[in-house]
Structures are given as C-alpha cells and as structure tokens.
Amino acid sequence: MPVLWLFILVLALGLIGFVLGRARALKDAQGDIRLLHSLPSYYGSNVLLATLIPGFAVLVLWLIVQPMVIHGQVAGMIPERGLTDYGSLNLAMSDVRRVADGLDIAVEQGALSAEQARDIRTEFTDIRGRLGEVGVALGSNVQPYVLQAAQTYRTMNATGHWLMTGAVLAAAIAGFAVAFLRTGKDLRARNSVERVILMLLLSAASIAILTTVGIVLSLIFNTIEFFKLYPATDFFFGTTWAPSFGGGSELGILPLFWGTFYVSLIALVVAVPIGLFAAVYLSEYAGPKVRAIAKPLLEVLAGIPTIVYGLFALLTVGPLLMSVFGDGGLGWMQGGRSVMTAGLVMGVMLIPFVSSLSDDIINAVPQAMRDGSLGLGATKSETVKQVVLPAALPGIVGAILLAASRAIGETMIVVLGAGAAAKLNMNPFEAMTTVTTRIVSQLTGDADFSSPEALVAFALGMTLFVITLGLNIVALVIVRKYREQYD
Amino acid sequence: MNDMRIVRKDVDMNDTKISAKGVQVFYGDTHAIKDVDVEILDKTVTAFIGPSGCGKSTFLRCLNRMNDTIDICRVEGNILLDGEDIYDKRVDPVQLRAKVGMVFQRPNPFPKSIYDNIAYGPRIHGLAKNKADLDEIVEKALRRGAIWDEVKDRLDAPGTGLSGGQQQRLCIARAVATEPEVLLMDEPCSALDPIATLQVEELIDELRENFSVVIVTHSMQQAARVSQKTAFFHLGNLVEYGDTEQIFTNPKDERTESYITGRIG
C-alpha cells in the first residue's frame, strides 16, 4: 500500500474516532453536556489524537529505520574487492538502487513479470538493454552481484512495506481503542488534549534548536577532517589565499577575513548613522501620516533580494564610483568591483534593518522620560540626545550587532560588487573578496570532498558561524539587559 | 475624621502669579476644558481637585504648554504668567517650561546617576559656571527635595534604583534645580505609600516659601492638608475656586459640597 494511502487511512480512522468519541461521551452523559468534564469536541479530539499520534509515529519511524536496515543488509552482499573506500561503496549502493528501481518500473510497465524480475540473471539476459527499453539508463553493464543485491533489495523493501502497513494500522487502531474505551463523562479530555498541544508547541521549538545543533555538527566533522589535512596555524595565520585543486594550495584565512571585515565595516559606517537618524526621525519627529507611509516603505528595502542589490552594485554603483575614483578621475580605482562598491550597497541593504529595530527600541522608551525632560525646559532634540538615545542605547547597540552579523554573512552583494581577488590591502577601491564568496567558489563545480581545497569551505563556514554566533549572543545579552530596565 | 482637620494657614495677600481667562481646551472634537478663569497666587499652594476626567490635569498641563506635545490638542483663551501671555507667538515654550517646572504622577527619573538627574536641567540652561558651581546647585536642590541625607553618599548610583518615594522626591529636586517660578505637580503622591506621601507633602509645604505650587490631587485630605487655595473642577468646568478652608467648610456650590462629602465623583 503506498504511503499516501496509508496516511489517508490513518487520518480517516482518526476522524471516525473523533465522531465516535464525541458521541460516546455525549451518550454517557445522557446528552446533557453540563455533566461532561470537558466540551464534547474535546472527547472527539482526544480519540482523534490517540489514533493519529501512534499511527504517524510508527509510520515516520519505520520510514527512517527501514532504509537504514536494508542498506546495512544489502551492503553486506557487495564483495570487498573493487571497494577502495567509503565513496565507492556509496557508488555501488546507488547502482543497486538504480537497478532495483529499474526492475520496479519494468514490472509496472509489463516489460517483465514479477517472477521474471525476481529470477532474472545477468548470465542469460541483457539487463542493461531490457531496462533501457523501459527508460532506465544504466552507465555500465550490470555486474551479477549488483543484480543480486538489487533483487534482495526489492524483496526486502516489499516485505518491509507490508510489515509497515500492518504496524502502522495496528498502532492506530490500538490508540483508537484505548482512547475510545476510556471515553466517559468523567474523562479529563480537555487536559489531555491540551497536553498534546503543549507537546506540539514544544517539539516545534525544539526543531529549531536541533537544526542549529545539526548544522554545527555537520560543520564540525568536516572542519576536523580539514584540519587533519591542513595545519590549523597555516589556516588561521596564513596571509595568502591561493587554492589550486592540483595540490600545493595556500589556504590562509586572513585575506578573506580582512575582506569580510572591511566590507562589513564600510557597510556599517553607511547603515548605522543613516538608519539611526531615520529611526530618530520616524519615532520622534514624524507625524502619524508620514510614519504610516515612510515606515513600510523603509521596510520594503529589507524585502529586496540581495542578488538585486548585487546587480545594483555591479551596474550602477560600480560604474558611478569608477567615474569619480577611476582612471578618468582620481585614479585610485582599477575596476568597478571594489570593497567600496560592495560596502556602500550592503550599507543600503542594512539601513532598514538598523532603522526598523532602532525605531522599535526608541518607541519602547517610556513617554514619561520624554515628558520629564520636556517639563524641565529641554528642547525636543536635547531630549532625544540626552534622555531618549542614552536610554535606548543598549538596544540600539544590539540592533547594530545584529546588522553586523548580517553584513558578515552576506554573499551575493560581495560576489557581484567586490570581486574575487583575495588581498590584504588598505585601499577600499581595490577588489577584494570575503569568506562567504570563497565558500561558494570552493564548493561549486566538481568538488572532491576529500581534498583540503573543498574541505576548507567547512572550516571557513565554521569560523564565520562562530563569529556571527558570538555577535548575536552579545547582541541578545545587551538587548535583554536593556529590557529589564523598564519592565 | 482626623485627617480632615483644617489647619489654619495664613494666606498672605500675595501677588497673582498666573492668571487664566476664558481657557478652552479641545482634544480633537472633545471639549475638555470649558471657559476656565483662575488666578494662581505667588508663594501659595493651589490644589486642583475633582473627579477623574474632569480636566484638572489637562488644565495643569496648559500652564507650562505641555499640551503642545500632543498633536490633536488645541488651547484657546489667555493664560498670563506675570502679565505675559504664555501662548503668545513670541514665547518659546521651552523657555516657559524652565520657568514653570513640572512633577509627574509617576516618578520618572532618567536612567542616569542621581547627580546627572539633578544636573540635567542646570546643564541644559547653562546655570552653572563650573563643576563646583554645579555641585553646589545639585546639593541645594537635593536638600530642597528633602532627599540629600539619603543619597549624599551615592550620587553616582542610578536614580532608577531608589525607592518610589525617593524617586519622586528626586524628581521634585530635579524640577527645583532649574530654579522655576512655578511648580506644577500632577498627582505627585498617587504612586506612593502613606509614609512617602507624608514626606512629599511636608516638602510641598516647604517649597511654598520660594515657589508658587499647583498640585492636582485625588485626595481631598491631601488638598486640605497642603493647600491654601483650592479649585474644584467638574466635567471640564471650574465650579468653585477659593480659600481651601472655605471650600472644605463652607462650599458655595452644591456640586462642590456633594463631591467633598462623597456623593459625586
């Protein structure tokens, strides 16, 4: 039975459970809902949930575990010879899956009967040709052991599927029965339904956290792998970035780090004053009408995809800077791509980020502070400068740090605006490159994941992750401390 | 009722400090203050009493043009401070507020040190020539605010860390530090406990020597205790204005009498 049908069946069972559970509770109370502990729909929901949760839990677990078990079994059938390392075992396994899928399709289309598919032998049949006829192209002739493995794979899959169907239905029916039989007017259905909802909320929250952990783990293992191949001191303190896939690369992070730092710095120098002043204007001076129009407009800026900003950098800002600082003008600039180009455009991108957050923070400063200052004969700007901004400062610093971590992680604007040359240079009109763009370029194309040139991307990513995480933590701590002041 | 005792306080024949004539205030379409005439005397405590929403706070905020900060608020009529119309175009509301200080309902110290809270006004208005001068102004203001002894050892501590009553006295000291001529107080004790209230009331009585004080209060006992003049507001009208003793013992208007005896409000 396909998984979709199984899913629908369990769902239908749950809905029947809802109706029956509700009816049973009502019957137990002789139709008087005042005698019930909970509202009737809670009894229904209770049976519904008791059916769905075990059913789906078994379904999900089975779908995760079965491939792992089968993989383990089938992998044992592939002979040791010809397997040089982990990668070629994977390759062989994907061959097995392909042949198995091919056989499935052939059976489905009637090119082979089910018995033929089971008993077919490479010695007697041209498998590649037969499968090619039904549209499954294989790279090479099928080895006998691959075919055997594929056939085992098919049978195990089919059995597993039947077992799964049985197990899922059994779990769902068991849950249904237990919940239904317990349903009576005194059952605390409301409480148990709410407990399930609580679990749902909890699991939603933990998914976000677990994902972060997963990301960190995936980075850590590859980073360790990288440092086995390339000395950490050379990575962290090397001043040259010259990867060559032929070997003998120099993979020093410093030029990239400098590029990231320089671009982010320029971006922040642009974004922080403009964003902050915009926020002060919007929250302190603008009338409600101006605010109603200006604030959403500013926030539209935040919704523009960064690649569009990148195009803006490449097509507009770069040539504009060239005409002033290039060969025709001051002669500081060699090409349209430079740290300045990317920094300016990234700064524009960050303006709404800074202004929107700061605006919220400034608005959170109590009106009583402003009244107190105005009541002492301070002007509006004195009030903003000496009372409102100092009171909002920790929050504003938090906003700026969040903006900084966005700047550090930004890729597209840098790719299009700053160029690809890894340089340690003070001139902001030189092309430079950043950590993120190098990660992209190290992993695009045919990357061999056992070479330091590809693995370095993970070390770069890990470094970047640690830095932005640190910035975010500092920002959150500051913002939290600020909140305590007024609550 | 022991608290209702009326202490006979001498009301000197003082000069008029603020004179309001035909004041009307509108919040959008709402007519909040209707044709109020009142004469506030120098070196006197004047209490504004009345039920919630009667416009007493609104009227108080007219006296230093704090209502200017509310967009939809419109004030008509004349308010003269020492014979000068404060709503005249030539008058800078900022200058006016330095002369007519204000203390708010809830203590609102700035999130700065105690010293900086007090020094805020003098610094803005350039009242101190040098640091020693400023130190002196701060000490004097804190003494006048009757809080010097409690905070003299921790002037660098944040003002927000004080207790509610101390914070309110700090705010009064802060208002006093700019040497205003009139001090407006909008229910200064409503967020305080009885002991802190008593301290603030004593303070108000002392402040009378130097300032004209206008206080809005919900507590009639408080009005009776601290003020020499009382104005009773009801539904945006000034119903009755006179000596505190007369208002509380022999009100002319029956609405005043009903309010004081607790039948309306």
Residues of A in contact with B71 (CB under 8 A): 287-288
Residues of A in contact with B95 (CB under 8 A): 377
Residues of A in contact with B178 (CB under 8 A): 376-377
CA nearest to A388 within chain B: B110
Chain B interface includes A31 (CB < 8 A): no
* Cross-chain CB nearest to A391 (options B66, B111, B121): B111
Residues of B in contact with A373 (CB under 8 A): 110, 120
CATH superfamily of A236-486: MetI-like (1.10.3720.10)
Question: Contact B104/A371 with Cβ under 8 angstroms?
Answer: yes
Question: Contact A471/B97 with Cβ under 8 angstroms?
Answer: no
Q: Answer yes or no: CATH 3.80.10.10 is held by domain B2-260.
A: no
Q: Which of residues 255-314 of A touch B (CB under 8 A)?
A: 287-288
Instruction: Tell me which H or E stretch contains A114.
Output: helix A114-119
Averaged pLDDT for residues A128-148: 73
pLDDT at A142 over 80: no
Which tens digits make up the pLDDT trace of A241-277? 888 766 677 888 888 888 899 999 999 999 999 999 9
Q: Quick one: tokens of B258?
A: 């009903």
Q: Quick one: tokens of A174?
A: 């068991």
Q: Quick one: tokens of B128?
A: 């101190």
What average pLDDT does the structure give for chain A? Answer: 84
CA nearest to A372 within chain B: B108
Residues of chain B that touch chain A, judged by Cβ-Cβ distance less than 8 Å: 64, 66, 69, 71, 94-99, 101-104, 106, 108-112, 120-121, 124-125, 160, 171, 174-175, 178
Averaged pLDDT for residues A469-481: 82
Enumerate residues 6+ apart whose C-beta is below 8 A from A119.
none
- Contact assignment for A373 to B110 by CB distance below 8 Å: yes
Enumerate residues 6+ apart whose C-beta is below 8 A from A423.
A255, A259, A430, A431, A432, A433
Strands B73-81 and B45-49: unpaired
- Contact assignment for A372 to B108 by CB distance below 8 Å: yes
- Contact assignment for B97 to A287 by CB distance below 8 Å: no
Q: How large is the ipTM?
A: 0.84
CA nearest to B184 within chain A: A375
pLDDT at A487: 42
What backbone phi and psi angles, to 5 degrees, belong to A376?
-90, 5
Distances from the Cα of B53 to the Cα of A248, A376, B50, B59, B218, angstroms: 82, 25, 8, 11, 11
Secondary structure of residue B49 in the 3-state scheme: strand
Residues of chain B with pLDDT under 70: 1-14, 264-265
CA distance B237 to B31: 10
- Contact assignment for A391 to B110 by CB distance below 8 Å: yes
Residues of B in contact with A290 (CB under 8 A): none
Which tens digits make up the pLDDT trace of B69-107? 888 888 888 999 988 899 888 888 888 998 899 999 888
Question: Contact A47/A18 with Cβ under 8 angstroms?
Answer: yes
Could you tell me the pTM of the whole model? 0.73
Question: Contact B244/B49 with Cβ under 8 angstroms?
Answer: no
Question: Contact B114/B170 with Cβ under 8 angstroms?
Answer: yes
pLDDT at A122: 67
- Report domain extents, chain A: 3-187, 236-486
- Contact assignment for B121 to A378 by CB distance below 8 Å: yes
Q: Quick one: tokens of A139?
A: 């790279």
| Cβ atoms within 10 Å of A29's Cβ, excluding its own | 18
Distances from the Cα of B194 to the Cα of A33, A437, B162, B165, B202, angstroms: 52, 67, 17, 10, 12
Q: Quick one: tokens of B189?
A: 């004790």
- In single-letter form, the type of residue at position B123 comes to R
Closest by alpha carbon to A230, among A471, A442, A381, A436? A442
Averaged pLDDT for residues A373-393: 89
**Band of residue A80 on the pLDDT scale cut at 50, 70, 90:** low
Q: How many Cα atoms sit within 13 Å of A347 on the Cβ side?
A: 21
